[in-house]
Amino acid sequence: MEGIRNYREVSNLLACAGQPTEEQLKNLVLAGFKVVINLGLADGSYALRDEAASVKALGVIYHHIPVVFDAPQLVELREFFVLMDKYAQEKVFVHCAANFRATAFVGLYLLSKNKVDETEMEDFMEDVWMPNQIWREFIEEAALLLTKNGKL
C-alpha cells in the first residue's frame, strides 16, 4: 500500500507494515483486508486516536496486542499465533509503529508454519530493520522453541 511505512506484502492473504493513517486504513479495506492486528501501543506517539473504533467503523475485525518494544513476551506471540490461525483464510494486515514488532511476529509465525526457514525469516525481518539485542534474544528464544518443540 502506497505510503504506509515499511509495507510488506507477505502473501495474497497477509501483509505487515508500520502505523497506517485513517485514510490508509480505508485503502486497506478497499484492498480487501478483513482483519487488522495492531502490535503497537495505543498511547504511543505513532498511534491513531482510536484505531479500534476507526477499524470497526470500516466493518473490519480489529485485535490489539500491545507489545512493549523493550519487553516483548512469548505470551503475546502465542496470542498472535492464535489470531493468525483463527483468521488463516482471511486477508490480514498486521502492524505496529514502524513494522519492527510486526515483521518479527509475522516472521516467527511463518517459521512456525514451515513457510520459511530461519535464514529466510531473518532476511524477511532484516529487510525492514536490524533487531536490537532485546529482540534478537526474543526471536532466538522463540525460534528455538518452534524448531525444537514445534510450538511455543
**Residue 135, domain CATH:** 3.90.190.10
pLDDT band at 152 (very low <50, low <70, confident <90, very high): confident
Please give the tally of structural domains in the chain: 1
Q: Which domain holds residue 79?
A: 8-147
Q: Are 83 and 146 in contact (CB under 8 A)?
A: no
Asked if the structure places residue 12 within a domain, the reply is yes
pLDDT band at 47 (very low <50, low <70, confident <90, very high): confident
Say what the pTM is: 0.97
Asked if the structure places residue 152 within a domain, the reply is no
Asked if the structure places residue 3 within a domain, the reply is no
Main-chain dihedrals φ then ψ at residue 151, nearest 5 degrees: -160, 170
Sign of CA dihedral 24, 27, 31, 32: positive
Residue 109: HSE in the Cβ half-sphere, 13 Å Cα cutoff: 24
